[in-house]
Amino acid sequence: MWKYFNHVWSAPGAAPGIEHEEVADLPRGAGQVQIRCIDYSPEQVLIQETHDLEAFLAQHRPEWTAVRWISVDGLSESRAIQVLATKYNLHPLAIEDMLQKTQRAKVEAYGGEGSEFMARLFLVAHAVQLQDGRLHHEQASIFLGHKTVLTFQANPSTEWDSIRQRIQAKGSRLRKSDASFLAYSLLDAIVDSCFPILEACSERAEELENLILDNPQPELIGQIHQFKRDLLLLRWVIWPMREVVSFGLDPTVVSSAATSLKAGPVLCSCRARTVRTG
């Protein structure tokens, strides 16, 4: 296992995936790690931040908890990742995809059998942000269990702030639904975040067109090439998410323990937008 530009790759010929015991041996990255846990039910919600994940998970979750969401912002603490991987039996291939940070949007199902703590569905999606006139993407990895959702991101982001607010609102649909509804709501929020970027790209295309017609200059060639690269990045982000959403709408998946019927409308709405934007 080796590391290059903050990405984790397997050495040629090595066994695929990263086993739980191998995670702690990965090089430690830079940056802070924030780990938050939200336990909620229709009647109650409890939000906690932990700096000792192992000790935190050793305690039983509140008996009233219907859904637990553990979010990890920052992937530099390999011990925290190992603790969660062991606790929730994360698949070695999914761990590798999560740590590469450049994995295309995808979904993998692991079946509905096993412990209630076992992650049964693995989702990868990318949020797109406009910073200093350039597009950047941030990978979000989502693990769905029977009553638990785990999320991993390399850096904190704002795409899911509205989800946290909705969880705190008593009577909200999120509070009344199961873990699968939360997982697909997180995916839906990522798709939503693409729309302001698409509007900005549309405005930029019109701006470039006007510049070319009114005052063509050689330096516009570089701007056009950069704009093309941004559009290719958007396509790379949005196009595969169609397959992710379509997978969740598959009847065999909906009928499994991984997805509830309540999540169906969220997925239908999400698919309609990925088709329109892709």
User: What was the pLDDT predicted at 266?
Assistant: 45
Number of domains comprising the chain: 1
The enclosing H or E element of 142 equals strand 134-144
Q: Which residue has the tokens 């412990």?
A: 115
The encoded tokens of residue 72 equal 């990890």
Across-strand partners of 3? Answer: 8
Q: Which residue is associated with the tokens 């969401």? A: 69
Domain that holds residue 70: 1-278
Do 243 and 162 meet the contact criterion of CB atoms below 8 Å apart?
no
pLDDT (tens digit per residue) in 141-183: 999 988 999 999 988 888 899 999 999 999 999 999 999 899 9
Q: What's the one-letter identity of residue 272?
A: A
Rounded Cα distance, 149 and 144, in Å: 5
Among 85, 79, 263, residue whose Cα is nearest residue 174: 263
Question: According to the model, what pLDDT value does residue 108 have?
Answer: 83
Give pLDDT, residue 212. 87
- Token pair for 106: 């995808």
Q: Look at residue 194 in the predicted model and tell me its pLDDT.
A: 80
d(CA 161, CA 71): 12
pLDDT score at 38:
98
Residue 88 predicted with pLDDT over 50: yes
Distance of CA 179 to the CA centre of its chain: 15
The 10s digit of each residue's pLDDT in 175-208 is 999 998 999 899 889 888 888 888 888 888 888 8
pLDDT tens-digit profile of 10-65? 566 566 788 888 887 777 666 789 999 999 999 999 999 999 999 999 999 999 99
Burial classification of residue 145, based on how many CB atoms lie within 10 Å of its CB (0-12 exposed, 13-18 middle, 19 or more buried): buried
Residues 17 and 103 sit within 8 Å (Cβ to Cβ): no
Look at the chain and count its residues: 278
Domain harbouring 174, CATH code: 3.30.460.20
Q: Please tell me the pTM assigned to this model.
A: 0.81
pLDDT value at residue 46: 98
pLDDT tens digits, one per residue of 208-259 = 888 888 888 888 888 888 888 888 888 888 878 877 776 655 545 544 545 5
Higher pLDDT, 160 or 117: 160
Question: Is residue 91 a contact partner of residue 119, using CB atoms and an 8 Å limit?
Answer: yes
Rg (CA), the chain: 20
